[in-house]
Structures are given as structure tokens and as C-alpha cells.
Amino acid sequence: MEPLTWTGSFGSIIDPVFQLVGLLFIVAVAAQFIGAYVFAPINDEVHVDGTITRDRGANAIIGTAVRSLLLALCALAAIYIVAGVFAPIGKVGIIGAVAKQFAPVWIALVATFLLSISYKRRLGLYGKLFDSTVGMIGYALLMFWVYTALFVGVFDMIAVNDPLTQLSGMKNKLPGTPLRSVEEGQYAYYLLGGDNLARDVFSRMVHGSVVVILIAPLATLFAFMVGITLGLPAGYLGGKLDTFLSFLANLVLAFPVILLFYLLVTPEIVATGIPNYMAMILFVFPIIFFAVLLNSRFYTRPHLRNPLLAGVMLVMIWTYLCAISAEGTVINILPPTLDLFDIDSGILVVFVSVVFVNSPTVFRIVRGLVLDIHTRDYVAAAQTRGEGKWYIMLWEMLPNARGPLIVDFCLRIGYTTILLGTLGFFGLGLESESPNWGNTINDGRKLLAIYPHPALVPALSLLSLVLGLNLLADGLREESLRD
């Protein structure tokens, strides 16, 4: 078989158009940047009848051109994708073959956007996100990788080969290289080439998304649970509690973050069982948070509160014990029949490290927000009604602090994603054979000058996910400021 080209025979038709539009877009963006300093931003013309016509002049024309060319580029990219999904392999080349593998993701994205835009007026802040172009682009990039991780991890789709399988003759092969001998049911190409161990770069890329999507959001969520549970009473109650918790937070933050991560994930520290003990402490906070949340909300209705609280606590405590208990570790509490799952030791170490390092920052953000909200009229009204302190904190103050917290949550997932890539790059925490993006970049950098594709593919994947999270945070910030 012949190697695949990037766009196949289809490219002879559409590639010149794409290149022309791309060049015009770059020129228009440069003109917009220069025009912001050269041309007057606003030109008001006052008529004799007293009316005013506002004309932004050349900047308005350039801005319209930039938006039109960007839409044209998106339309051309959609043509590549659609042609790749429906055309035979080779007709649209590597781009088409990759697009075909991502077909479930495209369908899920289209369905998500259609439903979300249709009902956006009923979906609160999430619905308002679709009024922001920047927010929608960021959300699309984020959900692309979320759906990729879902289809790869749960349904075993998209990937064309096992990420650890080495195939003879495929070492450092270029993208689109066909396999030497294709067995029944085996994909015929290495779509994005092979790495220095003859593994499929494309399959390692999509499997790497599972590691990131599994750890980064959950670890950030746990960090927020810890920060919120401690930050609310510190800001609202003040006094010695605030002084003590602030001292602990400042103590952790005073230590260099990256060095702290390296210490927590080194084999010597892991061997002592410290990460397991840290997990035992940190994983308690979600239980405390939901227990106080439900108790404060339904305190006056014990007939509903008691069974609801008992059921939720039973499930959460059981899950907690399964999470911290593992055979062969320093904490082995549950018998095998009751232990539903074991968290991989490498993932647990990284997870706990992320939660521990991020929690103090979240604590300080929540504490600062509470100190500001504490003086609002609705808090005084709740105090006048005789509401409990935890009710005021969780059901009056926390919902009104959700805007900054949601924005910070998105940004913090991005920071965690970069951190996971950094740890993987230095071979810390996760297994050396793991297809996580940091590991893959580190493997590919050794021959970067000769074979750039094994390192560039995961690097661009990491870039796109973090970019999506940052754009999503910007979109949410815009919409929250309009409220």
C-alpha cells in the first residue's frame, strides 16, 4: 500500500482555497492589530437635526473581514471533516482518516451544541455561555477531549491500535505510513506515525486524553471541596479559626509548588505511605461538605433529612473506604468482597498531590469572597430570620460567589493539565509506559530534530485542551459580569 498524504486527492481541489483564505486571515489579523493604533476607534458624525451617526470607520471593515475569514476557515475545516467521515480512506488522506475515527465525537459535539443552543434560555449561566463566541470555542475544544476520553475509555472506540503495542518496522515512521503486514481486523496505517518504540502515536494521543480528563477535573473538584469547606467558616466566623487555617494555607503556599510536587511523587516518599495517609484525610472533606450541606438545608424537616442524609452518607462513606483501601498498601481496611475498586498507586499519588497543592489557593479565594459578601444585605436578612450559620454560608453566600469560583475552576483545571504534563515529562507519578501526554512528549523529544511528530502530536493536544479551558473561563467571566 502507498503511504497516505495529508489531504489525498481531495486536497488538489480544496487545499489552494484553504491556503488562500488562511493567508488572507493572517493579513487581516495583522491589519486589525495595526489599525487599532493607526485609525480612530470611533467616529461620531453630528447631523443638523441633532442625531448622531456612529461609524467605526476602517476598523469596523477590518473587523468584519476578520470574522468573515474566520468563518470561512471554519467552514473549510468542516468540509475536510465531513469529506473524511464519508469518503473512503485515502480519498481525503490522513486528515480524512483521522476525522473518520473521531466521527462519534463530531456527532456528540453537534448534538450537544444543538440541544444547548435550543434551550439556552432555560439553562442559566451555562446557557448564557452560548452568547459568547469565545466561550463557545473554548467549550467546543474542551468537550472534544471529554468526548474523546469517554469514547476511548468506556466504549473502546477511536483508537486504531493498542497504545503499548509495538509493531515491527514502524519505528519513527512518518504519518500515514502503512503497516508492513496487516492482520485481520487490524487498521492498515499509523495515521500520525510511529514513535521511537514503534508504537502508534495517534492511539497514544487519544488514550492519553483519558488520563488527563480522569485526573484533572476530579482532582480540581476535590481541591475545591477542601477549599470551600475550610474557606467558608474561616471568612464568615473569623477569629482564631481564621488565623489558624490561614496560617496553614500560607505555610503550604510559601513552599515552591513545583518542588512540593516533586517531593510528593518521588518513590521514596511514596514508599513511606504518606500519600495514602494524605488521601485518607483529604477524601473526608467531600463527605463533610455534603453532610453539612444537606443537614443545613433540611434541618427543619427531620422526617426528610434523616433518611436522605443516612442514604447519602452510607454511599459516600463506602466509596471513601474503597478509595483509600487497597491491598498491599499501608491502608487495607475493607475485605476484598466489599472493596469495589482500587485506585492505581501512580494515579492516587498524582491525584492527592494536586488536591493538596491547589486546596490552599482555593481556600484563600473562597475566604476573600466570603469576607466581601459578608456585608451584603441578603446575609443580614438571613441572620434576621434566624438562619443557622452553615445555612447562610452554603445556601446564601456560596451561590452568590459561584461566578468567580466557576471561572477559577476552569482555569485551575488548565493549570492541573499542564502540571500533569510536566510530571509525566519528568517521569514522576504515573507509570513510565503510560500514554499520558507528558510521557509521550518526553519520549519524542529525544529525536525531535529528526522526527518531530511523536512529540508534536501530544504537545498540540495538551495546548488545545488548555486553550479551550482558558477560552471557556473567559467566556464565563464575560457572562458573569453581565449579570
* Cα dihedral across residues 134, 138, 141, 147: positive or negative: negative
- Say if CB 350 and CB 427 are below 8 A apart: no
The letter for the amino acid at 404 is P
Which pLDDT value is given to residue 299?
85
Which pLDDT value is given to residue 60?
75
Select the more confidently predicted residue: 451 or 261: 451
- Say if CB 330 and CB 290 are below 8 A apart: no
Which pLDDT value is given to residue 45?
60
Residue range 346-396, pLDDT digits in tens: 788 888 888 888 899 999 999 999 998 888 888 888 888 888 889 899 898
Cell output for 468: 479551550
The answer on pLDDT for 166 being more than 60 is yes
Which pLDDT value is given to residue 150?
93
Please tell me the distance from the alpha carbon of residue 345 to that of residue 349, in angstroms, as a whole number. 6
Position 39 confidence tier, pLDDT thresholds 50, 70, 90: low
Residue range 71-127, pLDDT digits in tens: 899 899 888 888 888 888 878 888 888 999 999 999 999 999 999 988 888 887 788
Q: Exposure pattern of 263-285 as b/e (b: 16+ CB <10 Å)?
A: ebbeeeebeeebbbebbbebbbb
Mean pLDDT in residue range 178-197: 83
The answer on pLDDT for 481 being more than 70 is no
Mean pLDDT in residue range 461-473: 91
> How confident is the prediction for the chain on average, in pLDDT?
85
- Map out the domains of the chain as residue ranges: 1-101, 206-437
Please tell me the distance from the alpha carbon of residue 335 to that of residue 329, in angstroms, as a whole number. 13
Select the more confidently predicted residue: 126 or 469: 469
Please tell me the distance from the alpha carbon of residue 430 to that of residue 255, in angstroms, as a whole number. 23
Residue range 393-418, pLDDT digits in tens: 989 899 888 888 888 898 888 888 88
Which pLDDT value is given to residue 366?
93
Position 130 confidence tier, pLDDT thresholds 50, 70, 90: confident
Residue range 281-309, pLDDT digits in tens: 999 999 999 999 999 888 888 888 899 99
The answer on pLDDT for 132 being more than 60 is yes
The answer on pLDDT for 320 being more than 60 is yes
Position 53 confidence tier, pLDDT thresholds 50, 70, 90: low
Which pLDDT value is given to residue 26?
92
Parallel, antiparallel or unpaired: strands 52-55 and 43-46: antiparallel
Residue range 249-274, pLDDT digits in tens: 998 888 877 777 777 777 777 777 78
Q: How many CB atoms lie within 10 A of CB 52?
A: 8
Which pLDDT value is given to residue 432?
67
Which pLDDT value is given to residue 167?
85
Mean pLDDT in residue range 459-480: 87
User: What residues form DSSP beta bridges with 53?
Assistant: 45
- Say if CB 206 and CB 158 are below 8 A apart: yes
The answer on pLDDT for 198 being more than 90 is no
The answer on pLDDT for 330 being more than 80 is no
Please tell me the distance from the alpha carbon of residue 359 to that of residue 253, in angstroms, as a whole number. 10
Nearest alpha-carbon partner for 474 in 139, 217, 213:
139
Please tell me the distance from the alpha carbon of residue 237 to that of residue 374, in angstroms, as a whole number. 10
Which pLDDT value is given to residue 48?
61
The answer on pLDDT for 43 being more than 70 is no
Mean pLDDT in residue range 457-475: 90
- Say if CB 278 and CB 352 are below 8 A apart: yes
Q: How many CB atoms lie within 10 A of CB 53?
A: 9
* Cα dihedral across residues 449, 452, 454, 457: positive or negative: positive
Position 314 confidence tier, pLDDT thresholds 50, 70, 90: very high
For the chain, give the secondary structure using H, E and C.
CCCCCCCHHHHHHHHHHHHHHHHHHHHHHHHHHHHHHHCCCCEEEECCCCCEEEECCHHHHHHHHHHHHHHHHHHHHHHHHHHHHHCCCCCCHHHHHHHHHCHHHHHHHHHHHHHHHHCHHHCHHHHHHHHCHHHHHHHHHHHHHHHHHHHHHCCCCCCCCCCCCCCCCCCCCCCCEECCCCCCCCCCEECCCECCCCCEHHHHHHHHHHHHHHHHHHHHHHHHHHHHHHHHHHHHHCHHHHHHHHHHHHHHHCCCHHHHHHHHHCHHHHHCCHHHHHHHHHCCHHHHHHHHHHHHHCCCCHHHHHHHHHHHHHHHHHHHHHHHCCCCCCCCCCCCCCCCCCCCHHHHHHHHHHHHHHHHHHHHHHHHHHHHHCCCHHHHHHHHCCCCHHHHHHHHHCHHHHHHHHHHHHHHHHHHHHHHHHHHHCCCCCCCCCCCHHHHHHHHHCCCCCCCHHHHHHHHHHHHHHHHHHHHHHHHHHHHHHC
- Say if CB 76 and CB 17 are below 8 A apart: yes
Q: Is the pTM of this model over 0.95?
A: no
Which pLDDT value is given to residue 54?
53
Position 438 confidence tier, pLDDT thresholds 50, 70, 90: confident
